[in-house]
Structure 1
Amino acid sequence: MDATLTSRGTDLATLSLVEAAAAVADGSVTSLALTEACLDRIARHDLGLNTVIWTEAETALEAARKADRARAAGEALGPLHGVPMAHKDMYYQAGRLSTCGSAIRADFRPDYTATVIERLEAAGAITFAGLNMAEFAQNPTGHNRHFGDCLNPWNGDFITGGSSSGSGAAVAARFTFMALGSDTGGSIRLPASCCGVTGLKPTQGRVSRYGAMPLSFSCDNVGPLTRSARDCARVMRVMAGPDPRDRTAAQVPVPDYEAKLDGDLRGTRIGIPDTWFMEDVDEPIMAATEAALAVLQARGATLVRLTLPMIEDIAAYSAILGRCEAAAIHAQWMRERPQDYAIHLSARLFPPLGIPAPYYIEAQSRRGPILRAFAKEVFGAVDLLATPTIPMRIPTRLETDIDAGTPGAVERFMGVSRNTRLLNYLGLPAISVPCGFDDRGLPVGLQLIGRPFGEGRVLHAADALQCDTDWHERMPDLA
């Protein structure tokens, strides 16, 4: 076992994804040992966190043994060979449970597998569990009345962020080396911020959505939650690219993101918006954001203050588009099984049925022109935008519990995703990376936003920040 592994002690689950893959490849660790380490941490700690909906331990252990035999036989190894992973429970796998965090699909077992799962496994990854999530991926906090709330591993009183709640918490707790999330209005970036991990929402269409539970035809994205930007870069190289089974998957070449992570930000212009994203930011969040920007500046980046165009229009159209499409997807179930939806979800799904069709068509038709104008004006002046991922200190689960009738819950609930949901209308790539902790010891996330198909530059800046900080290496105490 090499010095890196020895210095971490015997808990192999604390390695990063890239470290774990390298350890399997060079023979210093077996896939079986990694898988056993993840399963052991889940057995010891998940009762207090509720991140996992189902596990298939024996199947995973046998897959790990097979991976070890392949390496011993000298077979060609993929970039994720032997690395165990658990994913948000909305990625279909033939014959396996896929609850979508709901009562309606509590026993659903699809007969086909999501493209993204196939690609991860073709690269050598092992899927061993389905993770808790907000019901039908439709809230920014992570509340779930059917399977119980997933708890933030830093402090269970506070939200994990949603809707990929189990993904964020499980990666933070070192139950899995990577977890797929989905992002329709922030559902990868929000749990990444709340749980102190790294989460990337790619450009719309960068990753195939075939076999992923739909929420919004126009705004859904598939992406990873990991320990680091380098981990994200590794899995994005595997996941991204065209897919004949998904006509919305972009026909754009996929670069080797990881190869370009050199930490050098000289010549990179980072825009700091003076409106919307930086309005009413809580002081501890602003302090952590400014400290992170100083690190990026020291790495060679130039900070540019700028005003973003058309923000109010983007906000209005974003709300119309996502809500109407979600209501359309759930229309039949809402007619037949309304009692099986949580109160807060019904409150989101029923009102859009009253939105006139011309409003939806307007929101859809204006999307392209607004994106072109936004990209020309903003990304003609800067290479990236930087904002707090969540502008407020993380609220508690009680403070955001709409179903319990908590006063002010709706405002806090919606405020969590203020800085993320607009980017899904624009389809821009964005990452949340840990940049500190607030005055209560809870993680703070920095959001970096790029031009369309600019994942490489986003990951490059995120990795540069992580070269000079260790926020992404901090782990919650689960004892």
Structure 2
Amino acid sequence: MSLAATTPATVPAGLAAGRPGIAETAALLHSGEATAESLAEEAIQAIADTEHSGFVSVESEQALEQARQSDRRRATGSSLGLLDGIPLAHKDMFFRAGQVSQFGSALLGEYVPTQTSPLLDRLDSSGAVDLGRLHMSELAMSPMGRNDHIGDGRNPWNPSYVSGGSSSGSAMAVAHGLVFAALGSDTGGSIRIPAGTTGVTALKPTQGTLSTSHAMPLSPSLDCPGLIATTAADCTVVFAALAPTATATATAATTPKSTPAPRRSFTIAVPDVVGSTHAADEIAENFSTASAALAGDEVTVLPSDLPDFDLVNQVATVITGVEAFESFRDYLEIRPDAIGDQVRRRVERGAMYPAHVYSRALRIRATLLADFVHRYLDGADALILPTLAFPVPTIDETRIVDAHEAESRFGEFSYWTRALNYLGLPVVSIPSGLAGGMPTGIQLIGRPHAEGTLLDLAQHLQSSEHWQHATTFH
């Protein structure tokens, strides 16, 4: 069996669109048409053959041994489920005991943790194959995928363009078709943004659903592990393994066969972004096309006001700044030159916020959340918003000399994502075609713990011929 995708001519060759999903691949493993070892071997070779693969370290021996164990379980009728033998990889911030973890930084040297992330433990227990560590923005602090130590993340569609970040390698590896899914983290859009820039799907769960233990902390009040996969169906399978007690009911995929997306009715709140100063013309046009495609196919469109995220983004920035400084202050004192200038400036600025400002930013959180849910989700299963504020830029366009201009530009890129971390709401980002000639996406935002509904909705859209015709990459 080949992991390679069969892609339309409009999609760059080698990308993951059209490749069999996890359920379909599990069916092939179950029938004996493929083996976990052959999948792992092919993935390892594909990584070696792919420039800018997103990997910073390939754990070949570990992956092959996990794959052989999977094949032995299957041969004895004791398969662990749909993820058993499926190749994955993860952002270089989730600890695995005995293996180097670097956070995309020179700060830690070759730090070797003694404990493993509970999320990796869950995936191990499900039989998933871990191929290694993935690229990330330095200390998870660039929405563009910038990394002055190991090189910037590069977009699989065109390596001259940014990958998005900070979960850059997770999106790159999935978009290249090298793995079926990858863990990432999202503090201000760090999973959704790279998914949007590379044309894949992302899930940011309700904050607190997935453990942050034994992983790099950035802003503990906002940090949210999540995942990137080619489709919502694959996100569903992985999320079910990570959070088996959560409401991940969408096509629960408990048997090794391909299952269609559930048929049910949905109500989606749809604002008008045309004229917004936070949506470039190409983004607004793409969003309008996607919004129009929602009508019909058992989707009811509910007109909505457009949220004003200025205040929420400001308080989110305060929290991130203060907590990032606390996370890295000791390292700053010991090895200040080991941090890139841009990241160091952002971290050090966190020391300048007064305590009462930080305290108030946390205190008003519940009130702002309740207001948002009442205002935008009353009577709706989801609110849709753009994932990106403007089309994917080239790497050269992000190398702005003026530090303040650069940070303002970076902040604008995450305008539609950062506020949702502060509110702690679950979000699924799905591709919605092209803007400015590169992929972009829309966000499906739901009430707390509505991951199952959002994944159902995302699968419904991604299986709809009407939606695909309107939002495909062309």
TM-score for the superposition, normalised by structure 2? 0.90
State the alpha-carbon separation in 2 of the partners of residues 16 and 278 from structure 1. Answer: 37
Cα distance in 2, alignment partners of residues 5 and 44 from structure 1: 13
Aligned residue for 1:447?
443
User: Are the equivalent residues in 2 in contact too, given 1:277–1:391 (CA < 8 A)?
Assistant: no
Is the 2:22–2:82 Cα contact (8 Å) retained in structure 1?
Answer: no
| CA pair 253-192 structure 1, distance change in 2 beyond 3 A | closer
- Residue among 365, 369, 372 paired with 2:370: 372
Instruction: Tell me if 1:156 matches 2:149.
Output: no
8 A contact 2:53–2:176 mirrored in 1: no
Counterparts of 1:285 and 1:52, CA distance in 2: 30
Amino acid paired to 1:447: Q
Indicate if the aligned counterparts of 1:276 and 1:311 stay in contact, CA closer than 8 A.
no
- 1:304 equivalent to 2:280? Answer no
Q: 1:74 aligns with which of 56, 71, 77?
A: 77
For 1:2-81, what aligned pairs fall within 5 Å after superposition? 14-45=19-50, 48-81=51-84
Which residue of structure 2 aligns with residue 409 of structure 1? 406
In the alignment, the residues of structure 2 paired with residue 69 and residue 417 of structure 1 have an alpha-carbon distance, to the nearest angstrom, of: 45
Contact persistence 2:240–2:246 (CA under 8 A): no
1:99-121, CA deviations, whole angstroms, 9 ceiling, x for partnerless residues? 11010123011000001101011
Q: Distance in 2 between matches of 1:80 and 1:452?
A: 26
Whole-Å Cα distance in 2 between the matches of residues 166 and 472 of structure 1?
28
Task: Give the deviation of 1:381 after TM superposition.
Answer: 3.7
Write the distance in 1 (CA, Å) between the matches of 2:5 and 2:231.
20
1:430 is aligned to 427
Shift in CA distance, 280/254, structure 1 to aligned 2, threshold 3 Å: closer
String of CA shifts for 1:23-53, please: whole Å, max 9, x gaps: 22232210011111211111111xx215111
Distance 2:150 2:6 in 1: 37
TM (norm. structure 1) is 0.89
Q: Secondary structure at the match of 1:258?
A: coil
Please name the residue that 1:249 is paired with. Answer: none
Name 1:459's counterpart in structure 2.
Answer: 455
**1:374: Cα distance to partner?**
2.0
Q: Does 1:327 align with 2:325?
A: yes
In 2, the alpha carbon distance for the partners of 1:277 and 1:230 equals: 34
SS at match of 1:158: strand
Partner of 2:293: 295
Aligned AA (2:118): T
CA–CA distance in structure 2, aligned partners of residues 338 and 363 of structure 1: 28
SS at match of 2:142: coil
Shift in alpha-carbon separation, 1:184–1:471, aligned structure 2, 3 A? farther
Aligned CA distance change for structure 1 residues 406 and 219 (closer, same or farther; 3 Å): closer
Q: Which among 246, 256, 262 is matched to residue 249 of structure 2?
A: 256
Match of 1:383 in 2: 381
Equivalent position SS for 1:399: helix
Q: For 1:8-32, what per-residue CA distance to the aligned partner results, in whole angstroms no more than 9, with x for missing partners? A: 9xx9984322322222223221001
Change (3 A) 1:240 1:279: farther
CA contact under 8 A between 1:101 and 1:136: conserved in structure 2? yes
- Which residue does the alignment assign to 1:191? 194
State the alpha-carbon separation in 2 of the partners of residues 277 and 56 from structure 1: 48
Instruction: Give the drift of 1:290.
Output: 2.4
C-alpha distance 54-126 of structure 1, shift in aligned 2 (>3 A): same
Letter in 2 for 1:25: H
Residues 228-243 of structure 1: matches in 2 within 5 Å? 228-240=231-243
Count of aligned positions: 458
Q: Which moved more, 1:421-430 or 1:338-347?
A: 338-347
Report how far residue 417 of structure 1 moved: 0.5
Tell me if structure 1 keeps the 8 A contact 2:388–2:413.
Answer: yes
Match of 1:386, SS?
strand
Q: Distance in 2 between matches of 1:473 and 1:275?
A: 17
Show CA shifts across 1:439-472 (max 9, x none). 42x1111111111001112112211121125599
What is aligned with 1:92? Answer: 95
What is the distance in 1 between the residues matched to 2:275 and 2:237? 29
The match for 1:362 among 350, 360, 363 is 360
Contact 1:318 1:421 (8 Å CA) reproduced: yes
Identify if the C-alpha distance between structure 1 residues 202 and 283 changes in structure 2 by more than 3 Å, giving closer, same or farther: same
Q: What is the distance in 2 between the residues matched to 1:139 and 1:375?
A: 28
Counterpart residue number, 1:342: 340
The gaps in structure 2 that reach 5 residues or longer are 8-13, 254-259
Q: CA separation of 1:64/1:12 partners in 2, compared to 1, >3 Å: closer, same or farther? A: farther
Q: Distance in 2 between matches of 1:274 and 1:37?
A: 45
Superposition deviation, residue 93 in structure 1: 0.4
Rounded to whole Å, the distance in 1 between the matches of 2:469 and 2:334 is 47
Unaligned segments of structure 1, at least 5 residues: 242-251
1:401 alignment partner AA: R
Matched residue type, 2:25: A
Distance 2:47 2:246 in 1: 38
1:449 partner letter = I
TM-fit CA distance, 1:5 = 9.7
Against the structure 1 CA distance between its residues 287 and 421, is the aligned structure 2 distance closer, same or farther, given a 3 Å change threshold?
Answer: same
Distance 1:197 1:238 in 2: 20
**CA-based RMSD:** 2.8
How many Å apart are 1:405 and its aligned residue?
4.5
2:101 is aligned with 1:103? no
Provide the C-alpha distance between the structure 1 equivalents of 2:63 and 2:318, rounded to a whole number of angstroms.
Answer: 42
